[in-house]
Amino acid sequence: MLFPPYWVLLGLSITVPVQQAAEGSFPPPCDSKIYCTGELLKQVQLAKLFNDSKHFVDMPLRESPEVVLEHFKQLVNSMPGGALSKQQMVKFVGSHFSPPGNELEPWEPPDWTSSPQLLNRISDPKLRSWALKLNVIWKQLGRKVSAGVKISPQLYSLMYVPNPLIVPGGRFIEYYYWDSFWVIEGLLLSDMVATAKGMIQNFLYLVHKFGHIPNGGRIYYERRSQPPFLTLMMESYLKHTNDTDFLRDSIHLLEAEYRFWQEQRAVNVSVAGKQYLLNRYNVQIGEPRPESYSEDVELAAGLDEEAQQNLWAELKGAAESGWDFSSRWFLPGPPPLPATRQDTQTSTVVPVDLNAILCRVEQLLASFNKALGNGEKASWFQAAHEYRAAAVRAVLWNDNAGIWLDYNLVRQRHNQAFYPSNLTPLWAECSMEADVAKRALHYLKETHALSYTNGIPTSLAHTGEQWDLPNAWAPLQYMVIAGLAKSSSPQAHDLAFTLAQNWVRTNLAVYEKYHAMFEKYDVEGDGKPGSGGEYEVQVGFGWTNGVILQLLDFYGDRLNVTGSEA
Ligand SMILES: *[C@@H]1O[C@H](CO)[C@@H](O)[C@H](O)[C@H]1NC(C)=O
Ligand SMILES: *[C@@H]1O[C@H](CO)[C@@H](O)[C@H](O)[C@H]1NC(C)=O
Ligand SMILES: *[C@@H]1O[C@H](CO)[C@@H](O)[C@H](O)[C@H]1NC(C)=O
Ligand SMILES: *[C@@H]1O[C@H](CO)[C@@H](O)[C@H](O)[C@H]1NC(C)=O
């Protein structure tokens, strides 16, 4: 069965700017010949002038891109063989680029309050005083785009947005897409409604400009997105404000983003003789990630050109999934070949979580349109939601395992491994099977995912990648906990509370030890930040703080760390 898009059915036009590549070739990561592609980027990044490859592509230009490129060409031409020494490159970068960081300025949110109402709902005094400290961190993470970026955008890799915002923290000095969903939830619970609205308006602005929301606020992220939470951001905001005017003014952009996913990220899957249309992460751009250039070149060393380009495209797909990197996307050869990052094949996976999120998006767009009196569109989105739920059941539900599993298009079967994302349809309330909460409990026990008391691990595979064992991430904890809590099973409710208590205790124990909040945590050992992957663990940290505030909101009357060793 094929599902015709409503813009065809209703003859509507939602314009989505689409980047078209010439036949048989990949488009570049963006049009910038400095930040995304070209000889200057290549030479500087391969010379490894900085510890973190992201440093160079975040540096603003001192002169126009044309002048910088012309000077670079002259310098290269003046050298026999065109090769620059490391010293010359350091000098060139120093004289043509300024250090990163000033393109965003510290900003104290005017709606920040020292005593959000949430505090009154937290019984445990120790948790209440911790929440007070987390609330202060919003002020440290507040940024506004500097005037220079608006006046001369061509000098910056930062992408202009109109409103100030909260950044994740650490090396992530700009805004990120899916991080911001959890940040916005935290802001709303901290009574910072105006800041939350400004961030949503920024994302709407990006949809208006690009037709989709880039992974993060840099030009080199332009052609990859991230898990599509924009419509859910709007839902959270409306719950706190009932601001229907804002919804009416923006619904066409929510729909445009949905259209991007349906037009650019959909895939047909045939199961048992029937065809279903579902979604996947898929970024067909065959160049190294500009912000991890030398890492990607080294990873692809020894492959032929086509294999290199395919690997780079798949790495960008993994970045789009938010899970960069993870054995979840590895498609290795037959055992005993070890699976490594070089086996990343994100586009061959139909992921449970992406389809759960879109299932929720369709349901929300149905109810939003209904509330606005757009009956025809509401019916279309309701039908799309039902179509998705049936497709999720047919393609992703595994009755033996008693849970949804990622489907691999090449192997034409499920990936049997445990990931917290396998439970996300519970959270999205998509495609509910009979007794599904009970079966999910059984699944969690069977897989031993519950044997880690510091949190739910991202997978059960030790690979050294950051989206694998032993790391645990706040958004995944939240989606599992909320899914169990939404069900009708009392046992699932109890487990949801236990998991929330475990996660809160881990975060607090680590906070007391390190005086910081981290982007990820280690489920092994006695409470420490996570590790592994491409860069050092980062502090701040936007989504971690947002999720803790959500758990305190939900369970504040019951959570108790005073009686624990935390
Ligand atoms: C780069 O890393 C080295 C080794 O980890 C460290 O000693 C040095 O301070 C770092 N340099 C910068 C500029 O961060
Ligand atoms: C929004 O409207 C609903 C229904 O009228 C009401 O129950 C709710 O309290 C309102 N919420 C806010 C934040 O005003
Ligand atoms: C799915 O298959 C139908 C034909 O059966 C085709 O019209 C459609 O373009 C396909 N969609 C994608 C995303 O491949
Ligand atoms: C927390 O637990 C301790 C000991 O188990 C108990 O004394 C205390 O009253 C509890 N606090 C709350 C807020 O439930």
CA of 237 to the centre of ligand 2 (A): 12
* pLDDT band at residue 265 under the 50/70/90 scheme: very high
* CB of 96 closer than 8 Å to CB of 44: no
373 domain residue, yes or no:
yes
383 domain residue, yes or no:
yes
What's the pLDDT score for residue 112? 98
* CB of 294 closer than 8 Å to CB of 433: no
What's the pLDDT score for residue 566? 43
Instruction: Give the 3-state secondary structure of residue 237.
Output: helix
Atom of ligand 2 nearest to the CA of 240: 13
For residues 385 and 490, state if they share a domain.
no
Ligand 4 neighbours (beta carbon < 6 A): 123-124, 560, 562-563
Instruction: Give the 3-state secondary structure of residue 420.
Output: helix
Closest-CA residue, ligand 4 atom 4, reads 563
CA of 15 to the centre of ligand 3 (A): 21
287 domain residue, yes or no:
yes
For residues 454 and 532, state if they share a domain.
yes
* pLDDT tens digits along 356-378: 999 999 999 999 999 999 999 99
Q: For residue 433, is pLDDT > 70?
A: yes
DSSP labels, 465-499: -TTSBTEE-HHHHHHHHHHHHHSS-HHHHHHHHHH
Instruction: Give the 3-state secondary structure of residue 162.
Output: coil
Q: Which residue among 242, 243, 246, 367 has the greatest number of ligand 2 atoms within 8 angstroms of its CB, and so is best to mutate? A: 242
Residues 152-159: what's their mean pLDDT?
97
Report the amino acid identity of residue 201: Q
Tell how far CA 422 is from the center of its chain.
Answer: 17
* pLDDT tens digits along 211-225: 999 999 999 999 999
Measure the CA–CA gap between 68 and 60, rounded to whole angstroms: 11
288 domain residue, yes or no:
yes
157 domain residue, yes or no:
no
* pLDDT band at residue 537 under the 50/70/90 scheme: confident
For residues 366 and 469, state if they share a domain.
no
For residues 438 and 391, state if they share a domain.
no
* CB of 225 closer than 8 Å to CB of 354: no
Report the amino acid identity of residue 505: R
DSSP 382: H
189 domain residue, yes or no:
no
Sheet order of strands, 142-145 included: 104-106, 142-145, 165-166
Q: Among candidates 180, 166, 160, which has minimal Cα distance to 222?
A: 160
* pLDDT tens digits along 240-257: 999 999 999 999 999 999
For residues 551 and 452, state if they share a domain.
yes
Give the pTM: 0.95
Give the residue from 397, 413, 443 where a domain finishes.
Answer: 397
Atom of ligand 3 nearest to the CA of 267: 13
For residues 481 and 556, state if they share a domain.
yes
For residues 496 and 560, state if they share a domain.
yes
Residue 110: CB atoms within 10 A of its CB come to: 10
Q: Which residue among 268, 270, 358 has the greatest number of ligand 3 atoms within 8 angstroms of its CB, and so is best to mutate? A: 268
What's the pLDDT score for residue 6? 64
- Angle at the Cα of 251 (from 246 to 255), degrees rounded to 5? 155
Give the residue from 397, 420, 444 where a domain finishes.
Answer: 397
426 domain residue, yes or no:
no
Q: Which stretches within 372-473 are classed as H helix?
A: 375-396, 424-428, 436-446
For residues 566 and 440, state if they share a domain.
yes
The structure tokens 């751009």 sit at: 285
For residues 467 and 541, state if they share a domain.
yes
How many independent structural domains does the chain possess?
2
Measure the CA–CA gap between 224 and 219, rounded to whole angstroms: 10
For residues 326 and 393, state if they share a domain.
yes
Q: Which residue among 562, 564, 565 has the greatest number of ligand 4 atoms within 8 angstroms of its CB, and so is best to mutate? A: 562
What value does the CA radius of gyration of the chain take, rounded to a whole number of Å? Answer: 23
Ligand nearest to the CA of 171: 1
Strands 471-472 and 413-414, bridge-based pairing: unpaired
* CB of 442 closer than 8 Å to CB of 404: no
* pLDDT tens digits along 266-309: 999 999 999 999 999 999 999 999 999 999 999 999 999 999 99
Measure the CA–CA gap between 167 and 201, rounded to whole angstroms: 15
Closest-CA residue, ligand 4 atom 6, reads 563
467 domain residue, yes or no:
yes
For residues 387 and 444, state if they share a domain.
no
Name, in order, each residue with C-beta under 8 angstroms of 23's C-beta and a sequence gap of 6 or more: none
Long-range contacts of 362-371 (CB under 8 A, 24+ apart): 362/258, 362/388, 363/429, 363/430, 364/231, 364/232, 364/234, 364/235, 365/231, 365/251, 365/254, 365/255, 365/258, 368/231, 368/234, 368/247, 368/251, 368/254, 369/251, 371/244, 371/247
Closest-CA residue, ligand 4 atom 8, reads 563
For residues 374 and 302, state if they share a domain.
yes
What positions carry a catalytic annotation?
324, 519
Ligand 2 neighbours (beta carbon < 6 A): 240-242
Range of the domain at 554: 434-566
Atom of ligand 2 nearest to the CA of 241: 13
Atom of ligand 2 nearest to the CA of 242: 1
Ligand nearest to the CA of 536: 1
Give the residue from 397, 419, 446 where a domain finishes.
Answer: 397
Torsion over CA: 79, 81, 87, 92 (sign): positive
